[in-house]
Amino acid sequence: MRLVIFGDTHVPSRASEIPEWVLDAVREADHVVHTGDFDSQEAYETVTDAAPSLTAVAGNMDPRNLDVSVVEPFEREGVRFVVTHGTGPVESYRERVLDVGREEDADVVVAGHTHEVVDEVVDGIRLLNPGSATGAAPATRTTLYEVEVVDGDLDVTLRAE
């Protein structure tokens, strides 16, 4: 099972479009995760049209009419994921998103919001933040995660361009 995890695309407020290399990765994935802040209905539709299967959440910059929730759990290959944007102050970000993981009994919490790449394990929960797939400020580069999930194990690779 190959996942592509990305988010904080911010089209059109901070970027004009989602880079083609990101959309190529999305098209080639088995399942796609977007951490929120599409920023427009058009960006949301671009992702939903490209993704073979999608789990997405609402970010603080998303229009209210998007068909996404604030927290979305899913399971693949014996790994329980939960996705949340992580909206709120940066100072309490880490604990806030880990609390969502604890509430959902997740193995992996996927979150965005800060545009900072994170891959760490805290109290047995893996926290992944893919940064920004468009390099939207305050990010300084475009990033996403490619994740291979096999029999409960993860192999996480950061792609940056």
What are the extents of the domains in the chain? 2-160
With cut-offs at 50, 70 and 90, classify the pLDDT of residue 9: very high
Indicate whether this model's pTM tops 0.85: yes
Average pLDDT over residues 66-70: 94
* Cis amide prior to 19 (ω within 30 degrees): no
Q: Are 9 and 132 in contact (CB under 8 A)?
A: yes
Query: Average per-residue pLDDT in the chain?
Result: 97
With cut-offs at 50, 70 and 90, classify the pLDDT of residue 40: very high
CA distance 130 to 150: 20
Write down the CATH number for the domain with range 2-160: 3.60.21.10
